[in-house]
Amino acid sequence: MEYEDPDVPPADTPIKRGGALSKKTHLTQIEAIPCKICGDKSSGVHYGVITCEGCKGFFRRSQQPTVSYSCSRQSNCQIDRASRNRCQHCRLQKCLAQGMSRDAVKFGRMSKRQRDSLIAEVEKHRQLQQQQLHQQQLQGDVQSVLSFPTKARQDRSPQLLQPMAQAYSVTGFELRQQSHDLTAIHPYNPLEESYSIYPHSLRNIDELCASIVRSHRETSQFPLGELQALRWKLFSREEIQAYQSKSVDDMWQHCAIRLTDAVQYVVEFAKHIPGFRMLSQNDQIALLKTGSMEVVLVRMCRFFNTENNTVFFDGKFAGVEVFKSLASADLITAVFDFAHDMCALKLTEQQIALFSALVLINADRPCLEDRGRVQRVQRSVELGLRHILQRDNLEGLLHKLYQRMAVLRSLCSLHMEKLRWFSQRYPLTAHSLFPPLYKELFASEAELLPGTTH
């Protein structure tokens, strides 16, 4: 016996919500949301959940009294478009977990709660699409650079890194107008090389340090004074619970957007490290792909309050509990511990700037074409860092900073491990909703394709 599907709001019927008529909910808007079970193209709301025709029929058949499924593995099979027919038990469990209702099969109706949830879902999807489009527009210039370059692009790109015209229009942060125009990047001049890679006098070292510090200050998301003034602006218990009630994929997407915002500033910072633009385009990209996350973590010490172990996030200071729904407690704890240890070093803004540059310009990174040239730029930056530490009578600090670099490597490896875990379980979110720059920097295409297994 076949049962009717629950009602889907008619395309031409306005729906009341909050006492007012909301925008018409069209079936085509619902179908734009992928199937909640397998990620295939959906055909509407079936049994209270947006699904494809295949999962709709599967759930209907599973309600027969003679049907009984079992799993030969550990009842944790991945269910996606490619694997959905391999384990009926896990597929049914996912249907139930997503809210497909046996009652809906029996009675063919959608409750008011389900109807309101559907309206909210469609609106959320519409907003995500707009946000993604806006993000892609903001990242256009950077995204074109931070992809593996073809030979044609290398041949015609003497400027190496194109300016990011919207660098200071990043959503999520208020950035004050700067007196220096960081979008005016000049083509490579070979005559600059002897100064930038071989600073041969104290004056040149001072100029190198000043250039790096200036770029650091101009690409910091907030002035240090503002962060200090906000140190005790904390999330309320209700706000914390709101973050904790987010789904795993929603919170990952939210944090991916915030991290991408921060990375864009690091890209702009890198372009003004003396010697960076003299590297090949491939080597610039390789350094950014492997080092930008580490620089974000170094900069995090500016956003950290050691008195209550909170970090600046979404306009207020947040503790580890805010990130509970990421389901990555070990990573969050490790990041907070690193920030606390960095703060214990009491670095000045100048020291943070030079250390950030040294973290980024690392000749040990994989996939470098001209390791020797990268090493020469690295040595010049290290010379600058040694110079300011000696000036501040803190020569012994350099050894501690190199120890922190080893910790950064392990943190970024853990981040990649968690990203692989997430992309296996939520392939469509990772592939379709993460910011393009985040995907380009932190995951290979293979890891983020829907249906990929490892």
The single-letter code of the amino acid at 119 is I
pLDDT at 118: 67
| 39: pLDDT strictly greater than 60 | yes
Q: Band of the pLDDT at 338, cuts 50, 70, 90?
A: very high
**Residues 454, 420: contact at Cβ < 8 Å?**
yes
Domains of the chain: 16-122 (3.30.50.10), 139-448 (1.10.565.10)
Question: How far apart are the C-alpha atoms of 447 and 411, rounded to whole Å?
Answer: 19
Q: Per residue in 289-314, pLDDT tens? A: 999 999 999 999 998 999 999 999 98
pLDDT at 155: 35
| 3: pLDDT strictly greater than 80 | no
Question: How far apart are the C-alpha atoms of 249 and 147, rounded to whole Å?
Answer: 25
Query: Among candidates 162, 440, 185, which has minimal Cα distance to 293?
Result: 440
Which H/E stretch holds residue 291? Answer: helix 281-299
Q: Between residues 431 and 397, which one has the greater pLDDT?
A: 397
**Mean pLDDT confidence for 440-452:** 53
Q: Helix, strand, or coil here: 37?
A: coil
- Stretch among 210-214, 220-224, 233-237 having the lowest mean pLDDT: 220-224
Q: Band of the pLDDT at 231, cuts 50, 70, 90?
A: confident
pLDDT at 131: 60
What sections of 171-247 are H helices per DSSP?
A: 193-197, 202-218, 224-229, 237-244
pLDDT at 320: 96
Query: Among candidates 414, 225, 230, 222, which has minimal Cα distance to 318?
Result: 230
**Residues 382, 359: contact at Cβ < 8 Å?**
no
**Residues 24, 11: contact at Cβ < 8 Å?**
yes
pTM (two decimals) = 0.59
pLDDT at 144: 43
Per the prediction, the chain carries an average pLDDT of 76
pLDDT at 18: 39
pLDDT at 360: 97
- Stretch among 11-20, 38-47, 351-360 having the lowest mean pLDDT: 11-20
- Stretch among 56-60, 89-93, 129-133, 252-256 having the lowest mean pLDDT: 129-133
Q: Which residues face 21 on adjacent strands?
A: 16
Q: Per residue in 146-195, pLDDT tens? A: 443 333 333 333 322 344 333 333 323 232 233 222 222 333 444 344 44
**Mean pLDDT confidence for 122-145:** 56
